[in-house]
Amino acid sequence: MTAVTRRARRIRVLLPQNLKRMPASTLLQPKNPPVQQHSCFHCHDICPDDRLTIGDKYFCCDGCKMVYEILNTHNLCEYYNLDEKPGQNLKNRKNAKAYAYLDDAEVQDNLLEFNNGQTAQVTFYLPQMHCVSCIWLLENLYKLDAGVTHSRVNFLKKTATVQFDPGLTSLRKLAALLASIGYAPEINLGDVDGEKKPLISRKLAYQIGVAGFAFGNIMLFSFPEYVGMDPETDRWFADIFGYLSLLLALPVLLFSARDYLVSAWNGLRTRHLNIDFPLALGILMLFGRSAWEIVTQTGAGYLDSFAGLIFLLLTGKWFQQNTWQQLSFERDYKSYFPVAATVVSGSEETTVPVNRLVPGDIIVVRSGEIVPADGILLKGSARIDYSFVTGESDPVGVKSRERIYAGGKQAGESIEISLTRRVSQSYLTRLWNDEAFQTGEKGTPPCSPTGRGAISQG
């Protein structure tokens, strides 16, 4: 008997009898097999569990499930076949009560572009619109609401013009319908006052600023190569400026070029090569080759060309948006303020347009909502984000009976505020309309050290 045979017999003796009778496949199975994750059929996010299902389809939240049920009921499931990821996540969707102010006759008169009693027309700005499936669904609204007679989409401006019969449906029902299928219309006080204010992408402006700053400085740091300095005799000089250029190029890659890289990666995940893939490939190759040359001291790299490429790409993107959206810089507080506020009277809550609010009204401001007028905190714990006014994003704690200024955004629980001024007489609107700011140099921020001190004093 060999040594291997004796060892195998000894192992069989030590094993319990029940394990000896188990098949080998059972012994190889893990004790806790991993839980299979499902992607949401509507928005393709990962489902937290398998609780919400319809047949073999899984959903991450009740909102996504409700949208599928609406589309399936009206035979509109072709929506899911037109694009890889057509749906929007609806975990934080707006409640239908949020559009109660659209029942107000004055608000309707200002929003409606046409109304003869039989046919009315309105244009909504829908920032969630992103693909051909969105266009198809929005142009088939008449199948979801019998009162809709026609809908037309402008994809570049992300707007939808809807014609409807006021006798069969209403402005509030249309807005609630759009919100229920993932396209909540964005309506502000400037829309109600009749003057349309385009929305400027602040993120794109920051990306252009970072890329432009890095482009100019990297060009400056590359001057040893431009003037023909010998890299061997002045190695320390070239190394210092090379590493400085690499440090400046990192935020360009991680922030300014992020949209191109993410878009290319999403395309690869769906096995689809989009137009951003060659751009992302060139960006990575240019940065990688430059970083390798600088680290290994085999060359100066091409980081100036890298930063310049990103800067020019983003500048072209901005000019495209500027052309299509016809940007206007004559913005005022109405472009940021809500259309209506919730007024508390006893135990009842009613929605009132902000231009009808008067001193003494008690309003409810919920998390994420903007305070429309100056007032005194009556109830709740207030954490107000005054970044819109001061530029400082850290929320400011406000205690009961202390003053809250217009333009602040509540970052905590629901609070009740007793108004002390009208919207047009609030600190922010008076500051914005001040003649010194209107006649000052363009680009001057609508706040000053004095104003910031006034707000911080509460």
Spatial distance between the Cα atoms of 265 and 269, rounded to a whole number of angstroms: 6
Say if residue 46 is exposed, middle or buried (CB neighbours under 10 Å; 0-12, 13-18, 19+).
exposed
Spatial distance between the Cα atoms of 71 and 76, rounded to a whole number of angstroms: 5
**CATH topology assigned to domain 338-456:** 2.70.150
Q: Which helix (H) or strand (E) holds 154?
A: strand 148-154
| Residue type at position 74 | H
Residues of the chain with pLDDT under 70: 1-36, 62-63, 81-97, 189-200, 224-235, 237-238, 324-336, 388-391, 424-458
Spatial distance between the Cα atoms of 106 and 124, rounded to a whole number of angstroms: 17
Which position has the token pair 């290319």?
A: 264
What's residue 5's pLDDT? Answer: 52
What's residue 95's pLDDT? Answer: 62
What's residue 299's pLDDT? Answer: 74
- Count the neighbouring beta carbons within 10 Å of the beta carbon of residue 452: 15
Spatial distance between the Cα atoms of 336 and 21, rounded to a whole number of angstroms: 73
Half-sphere exposure of 135 (CA within 13 A, CB side): 11
**CATH topology assigned to domain 41-187:** Alpha-Beta Plaits (3.30.70)
> What three-state secondary structure class fits 224?
helix
Contact (Cβ atoms closer than 8 angstroms) between residue 427 and residue 441: no
Spatial distance between the Cα atoms of 363 and 418, rounded to a whole number of angstroms: 7
**Start-to-end C-alpha separation, the chain:** 92
Domain boundaries, the chain: 41-187, 202-325, 338-456
Residues paired with residue 379 on neighbouring β-strands, in sequence order: 416
> What three-state secondary structure class fits 138?
helix
Shortest CA distance to 40 belongs to which of 94, 86, 92? 86
Ramachandran angles phi, psi of 34, nearest 5°:
-65, 145
Pairing of strands 114-115, 57-58: unpaired
Same fold, 41-187 and 338-456: no
> What three-state secondary structure class fits 53?
strand
pLDDT in tens, 9-25: 554 544 455 544 555 55
What's residue 448's pLDDT? Answer: 37
> What three-state secondary structure class fits 384?
strand
Half-sphere exposure of 163 (CA within 13 A, CB side): 8
